[in-house]
Amino acid sequence: MFNINEPVIFGLPIVLNPIYFIPWLLVPPVCTLIAYLFTAGGIIPPVYVQVPWVMPVGIYAFLATGGSLMAGLVALINLGVSFLIWTPFVLLANRQQEVE
């Protein structure tokens, strides 16, 4: 939530886990593409304010774009897309853990 990913990386664990490797590589380009398309389309302004990295998702985008509510919404959309991409892999990993 506050851009601190170490608990996720080492808690799931993502490191050396082939199931989580796919969404780990897939989510960043997908979210970048979504944000780029909104920015290139002129729907949200580009980022021009440096914000502390520990801000929550929507607030970070809102402040970094100078107060664009739409940018905060796009950040939350990216969070939802990330959740949807990760969910099947987490469920699969949970099923495999139960079998072992």
Q: List the pLDDT tens digit at each of the 100 positions of the chain.
A: 566 777 777 777 777 788 888 998 999 999 999 999 999 999 999 999 999 888 899 999 999 999 999 999 999 999 999 999 999 999 998 898 888 7
Q: By C-alpha distance, which of 34, 35, 91 is closest to 65?
A: 35
pTM of this structure: 0.86
Q: By C-alpha distance, which of 34, 41, 59 is closest to 26?
A: 34
Residue 6, SS3? helix
Residue 20, SS3? helix
**The pLDDT of residue 14:** 77
Calpha distance 37→96 (Å, rounded): 37
Calpha distance 80→96 (Å, rounded): 25
